[in-house]
Amino acid sequence: MFKKVLIANRGEIACRVLRTLRSHDIAGVAVFHHEDRAAPHVSLADEAVQIEADAPAAAYLDQRQIIDIALRVGADAVHPGYGFLSENASFAQRVEEAGLAFIGPDAESMRLMGDKIRARTFAKEQGVPVAPSVQHAGDLADFVKCAAGIGFPLLIKAAAGGGGKGMRIVRTKAELAQSAVAAAGEAQRYFGDARIYAERYIEQPRHIEVQVLGDGRGKVVHLFERECSIQRRYQKIIEEAPAPNLPTTTRDALCAAAVKLAAAARYRNAGTVEFVLAPDGEFYFLEMNTRLQVEHPVTEWVLGLDLVSEQLRIAAGLGLSFTQQELSVRGHAIECRLCAEEPEHDFRPAVGRIGLLRIPKGADIRFDGGIREGQEVTPAFDSMLGKLIVRGSTRAAAVATMKVALNDIVVLGVATNAEYLARVMNHSEFMAGRLHTGFVVEHADALSAPPAAAEEQIAAVVAAALEDVDFRRTAFGVPEPYASMGGWRN
């Protein structure tokens, strides 16, 4: 097993990896940018080394400095966390070339799965379902005929596209030709590339993903699925395990497909295969993420595992610590991502200083955070402050515990989405497990903040006024220094 591991990351995930390293008595090395010098991961680590970079985020992308530091401090291995360099194939390769172990998959797997078209083709070759699609090869009539064969509704997308531009939903064959021409024109204008393709459009899809672990020699186990359909700005904000209202046959098929794909790629270490599940029960491969994911704690909690621990074992050549047969899901776990943002203004990121932080505690509550009181929340880094994870023996119990936890969490000084998340927990459709990726948009009205109760506003202003020394003096007619002591009553 490794003696010393460097974490090429920051914030919540760096703290989380450090915790597991500590439990194994492995020394943990943190790297940080000057702006992060007071961040929790720096003081949690056994050693911390500063990286020079102009922009804060650039520090965590500086491959050369990170590898140099790892060698200098005598680390055996590097854990990339998620984001930053975690899916950078050349970084993974350079780490291994430097004689260090990379705690993750090999560079070739990253390249294969990082190229979405290669990944899709590979998946199809393994018999994993992919959304039917047809490319426009030049002849409009031919394209219309083939596209119609996919079935309606379908989506026409720009091959070079993004940001929803050049995308059109087509519901009938009659509109197809005209939409194709219009989409190609738009694609030419926005991307300088008129290539389009048609793909099955799934309405109200669910995003279901399967966690896998591979030993790098062709053996892969799955750790069941997670539901990640509650998203805003195409980012997940609530995840859970297991996926609610999922037929056993569908679950088995999803997990089997994920294992098949990862095994065919001789995948090593942790990865996640993402699928789109249609209301009719059909599912299609979306992509594979070759890293540990943000939402891994829900899987850990329903299986009683430490995924970072398993990652270390695999990277150290010790293989998996269990077999597929030994795994079974118990209970239910939900994760909410606490973010510095204003849901009422289209979830725009917020800044501020965390003046007060109180995290609820309990046997069924876990908070994976990378923040501390007094910390400045700036736009330099991601707006996620931490993850609140709860478990229960049933989904209803987990939802109930999450409602209480979100009510009890206190973050003062920067706006967060805590109250928004609580409104989702209280929404009847969420409680019924009727989820899809358009949930946040579909229920926007019901999820918007209700006006504050008048008595609460009054209580808030009185509480705020009484915080002020001058006001206390006036209110209680009490001279200094007694007025400053607070809580003084005549």
Partner 1 sequence: MSYSVNGAHLTLDILHRRPQLRIKIGDAVHAVVEVPRLAAEFELVIDGTVYRGWRCRIGNEVWVRLGGHNFVVRAIESESEQAADASARLQVRAQMPGIVVAVHCEEGQSVQAGDRLLTMESMKLQVTLTASRAAVVDCIHVAPEVTFARDALLVSLTAVQDSER
Q: For residues 74 and 374, which CB has a smaller minimum distance to partner 1 in the complex?
A: 374
Q: Is 284 exposed, middle or buried (0-12, 13-18, 19+ CB in 10 A)?
A: buried
Applying CB under 8 A, does 356 fall inside the site for partner 1? Answer: yes
- The label of the residue with tokens 């200094």 reads 480
What is the closest distance, in whole angstroms, from the C-beta atom of residue 9 to partner 1 in the complex?
22
Binder to partner 1 among 58, 410, 444, 446 (CB under 8 A)? 410
What is the closest distance, in whole angstroms, from the C-beta atom of residue 150 to partner 1 in the complex?
43
Binder to partner 1 among 352, 360, 433, 443 (CB under 8 A)? 352
Applying CB under 8 A, does 351 fall inside the site for partner 1? Answer: yes
State the Rg of the chain over Cα: 25
Residue type, position 38, single letter: A
291 is catalytic: yes
Strand pairing report for 101-102 and 77-79 = parallel
DSSP state of 130: B
Q: For residues 481 and 487, which CB has a smaller minimum distance to partner 1 in the complex?
A: 487
| C-alpha–C-alpha distance, residues 253 and 86, integer Å | 28
Nearest by Cα to 321 from 329, 313, 312: 313
DSSP state of 165: B
Applying CB under 8 A, does 348 fall inside the site for partner 1? Answer: no
What is the closest distance, in whole angstroms, from the C-beta atom of residue 273 to partner 1 in the complex?
36
Applying CB under 8 A, the site for partner 1 has a residue count of: 42
Applying CB under 8 A, does 396 fall inside the site for partner 1? Answer: no
Q: For residues 137 and 356, which CB has a smaller minimum distance to partner 1 in the complex?
A: 356
Q: Say how many C-beta atoms besides its own lie within 10 A of residue 186's C-beta.
A: 19
Applying CB under 8 A, does 355 fall inside the site for partner 1? Answer: yes
User: What does residue 95 show for φ and ψ, rounded to 5 degrees?
Assistant: -60, -50
- Ranges within 414-473 binding partner 1 (CB under 8 A): 415, 419, 422, 452-453, 455-468, 471
Applying CB under 8 A, does 474 fall inside the site for partner 1? Answer: yes
Q: For residues 362 and 379, which CB has a smaller minimum distance to partner 1 in the complex?
A: 379
Q: DSSP string covering 374-408, please?
A: T-EE-TTS-SEEEEEEEEESSHHHHHHHHHHHHHH
Q: For residues 142 and 467, which CB has a smaller minimum distance to partner 1 in the complex?
A: 467
Active site residues: 291
Residues at the site binding partner 1, with contacts judged by CB under 8 A = 351-353, 355-356, 358, 376, 378-379, 406-407, 410, 412-413, 415, 419, 422, 452-453, 455-468, 471, 474-477, 486-487, 489-490
